[in-house]
Amino acid sequence: MADKLAEKVTRIMGQPEKIRNIGTIAHIDHGKTTFSDNLLAGAGMISKELAGQLCVMDFHEDEQTRGITIDTGAASMVHTVNGEEFLINLLDTPGHVDFSGEVTRAMRAVDGAIVIVDAVEGIMPQTETVLRQSLKERVKPVLFINKVDRLIKEIKLTPELMQERFLKIITNVNKLISQIAEPEFKQKWQVDVNNGSVAFGSAIHKWAMSVPYMKKKGLSFKDIIDAYLTDNYQPLSDKAPLHEVVLDMVIHHHPNPREAQSYRIPKIWKGDIESEAGKALLSCDPNGPIAFVCTKIVVDKYAGEVAAGRLFSGTVRMGEELTLVSSQKTYRLQQVAIYNGPKREIVDAVPAGNIIGLVGMKGIYAGETVTNSDDMTGFEALKHLFEPVVTKAIEATKSIDLPKLVEVLRTVKKEDPTIVVQINEETGEHLISGMGELHLEIIENRIRTEKGVDVKTSKPIVVYRETCLRKTNGEFEGKSPNKHNKLYFVAEPLSREVTDAIRSGEIFEGRVKKKEQMQVEKFTALGWDTKEAKNIQEIFRGNILVDSTKGIIHIGEIMEMVLDMFEDVMNAGPIAREPCFGLRLNLMDAKLHEDSIHRGPAQVYPAVREGIRGAIMNSMAVLYEPRQTLQFETPAAFLGDIIKLVSNKRGQLLETNQDGEHIMIKAKLPVAEMFGLASDFRSLTSGRGSYYLVDQVYERLPDELQPKIITQIRERKGLKLDEEQATPGG
């Protein structure tokens, strides 16, 4: 079967108009993996009887035992419409918010998304999050309303009430699209039940319907309801097979790679559209320079690192020499593969417009661009919606495993870029930061079971942020150890508009090396002076360094060293060595020694570090803490208990809505108070409630807690308590 599949796929992969690259996106437990099983069964890749039980795309052991998708699964399949064969490259993404980084990366590789919504639960917080992630990458949505059987069997809705329910879900999805999508797509990408961009059905019972399909086959809502009322719904999967209805919808409503790249490339690639590479990317040219973007890395114990991703232009061939754009390192390609769930099928060559796996690209990371051209510009960096906020110290149980643990942590970081790993070779402390408690629990478990290292971890700790509240009084001087070089800095907070623009990806981060990388217009629109905007040297982790010096002869020679130390301090700020955010650092003046031997790294690094830290401390340096907006859903009887729980955890109630006996509460809570929230909430509601993450922000830690938290962090990190320690507003 595998050979047959590889032959079929190879036959079509050179015809971009016959290819659809799609992903499934949804809230947790809305049925994505069961849905994907149906599509694979329809393509003859698994037996129809086992679809929904096998969960082919959940091929890790922990995914099967927990019943949730953790990693994005990939599969290529062939679907025939009116005698024509089409190639569908499918990515099945996780729904749990802790793994939303997987969704962000998958959306770079696809052109269309199937938004799956539970007919009973409707639009949930994570539905909105994943839709936001897809629209940000200009991925076109279609809608599948799942679990319709529950409306008939559990809620016992009439055909009219069912249609009302569908209409409400469709309206809500369209409202989100018009709020989130860019102006040219707000109307164009609205889903419509009449044109077939909406389908509904039951993935577990393997059937689906859409208005065009119902007209074509002469079926109605009444047929579906009757089938369930008489408990004879099995024939529905023969009359209206889910894979046929959905893949017909995909082929008619999702764009082919050539079509999609014409509007996606200007958004996700910052190179010159008029260049040879630009034209090849826009037209998905198989004869153009190679441009492959890695979206996921899986470490295979036999093949090594397998880089999965999308080939936007050119044709990759086994044995070819390819270069990683960021590091400029060249490697020989050992294998090219297409995906069949957990299996890879090796092929000789693949043309542009396909989702593939490459073996042999050492040192590659998610978001990296691979090419065979000398002047290829890399693709826009992948920006995740949420940042890691929970950290644990991790150590090997046996000291003999320590070198292996360091290696394993580096591998884990590659496989999941949303995990932040800090390895301190001097102190032997290793820290892993993730999106939440579950995220870290999964990583720990995989280190033990899949990587074979027995580890123990500390209690979870929170990562704070450092920033300042006002502009530095005067200029702060940083002196080199030899006293021959002096640099003068001023720190000030960035405006909310600028930090939001960086967070949303509207302003992209990195060192400004060429004139065309300047984003002058974007900054002037946000109130910056044109001259200042032209002097921006780097945007790093939501902080900006501006060169405000005039006429300093040797400034160009030391600028890279200044930026190195700017990054160093932004990663570990002056208050408690926590990361900084929302800061603007201005290099105002510099007095440099004439002789380059006296202004090397050993002299410049300490001067810059001292100057930047001092400027921040002199600008009312404070800690900000992560806070998450959660949506609690529970029977109304528990309202008082939930409000009490929120206030006990320093939370803030945002909104309460009651619908009969059901209540929805939105509240903002500090992450530091949320450890153990899941078990507290479960016991409070006797397991009858649930909650979801809606948003995450950093807000100022209350003044009365600042000294206590700063002392705790510094003690934990082994820093002197009196060294450069800030007090709130001090």
Per-residue pLDDT of 494-512, as tens digits, reads 999 999 888 877 888 888 8
Q: For 397-449, what is each residue's pLDDT tens digit?
A: 888 888 888 888 888 888 777 788 887 665 567 888 887 777 788 888 878 88
Q: What is the pLDDT of residues 622-644, one digit of tens each?
A: 999 999 898 888 888 888 999 99
The confidence band for 524, taking pLDDT boundaries of 50, 70 and 90, is very high
Report helix, strand or coil for 680: helix
Alpha helix segments (H runs only) across 576-704: 601-617, 639-648, 677-684
- Distance separating alpha carbons of residues 285 and 351, to the nearest angstrom: 8
Which tens digit of pLDDT belongs to each residue from 70-128?
A: 446 677 888 888 889 999 998 887 655 555 667 888 899 999 999 999 998 888 888 88
Query: What is the rounded CA–CA span in Å between residue 634 and residue 342?
Result: 38
Share of the chain above pLDDT 90, in %: 43
Span 332-372, pLDDT tens digits: 999 998 887 667 888 899 999 999 989 988 878 888 899 99
Question: Region 486-493: what's the mean pLDDT?
Answer: 96
Could you list the beta-strand ranges (E) of 10-94: 19-26, 73-81, 84-92
pTM over 0.85, yes/no: no
Q: Please classify residue 516 by burial: count the beta carbons closer than 10 Å to its beta carbon, then call 0-12 exposed, 13-18 middle and 19+ buried.
A: exposed
Residue with tokens 């090997």: 396
- Rounded to whole angstroms, the Cα distance separating 502 from 704 reads 30
Tokens standing for 704? 């009365």
Q: What angle is formed at CA 501 by the lines to CA 143 and CA 467, rounded to 5 degrees?
A: 125
Domains belonging to the chain, first-starting first, are 19-255 (3.40.50.300), 268-371 (2.40.30.10), 390-463 (3.30.70.870), 466-619 (3.30.230.10), 625-700 (3.30.70.240)
Matching residue, tokens 């002392």: 711
Residue 326 CB-half CA count within 13 A = 17
- What contacts 380, CB < 8 A, 6 or more positions away? 267, 268, 269, 270, 505, 508
The answer to whether 437 and 402 have CB atoms below 8 angstroms apart is no
Which CA distances in Å does 62 have to 277, 407, 436, 449, 454? Answer: 42, 22, 17, 10, 17
Residue with tokens 């909310």: 496
Instruction: Inform me whether the pLDDT recorded for 59 exceeds 60.
Output: no
Burial of 380 (0-12, 13-18, 19+ CB in 10 A): middle
Does residue 222 carry a pLDDT above 70? yes
**For 37-41, 324-328, 546-550, which range has the lowest pLDDT when averaged over its residues?**
37-41
Q: Answer whether 43's CB lies under 8 Å from 135's CB.
A: no
What token pair was written down for 225? 């309801």
Position 98 scores a pLDDT of: 53
> What CA dihedral angle connects 560, 565, 568 and 574, to 10 degrees?
-160
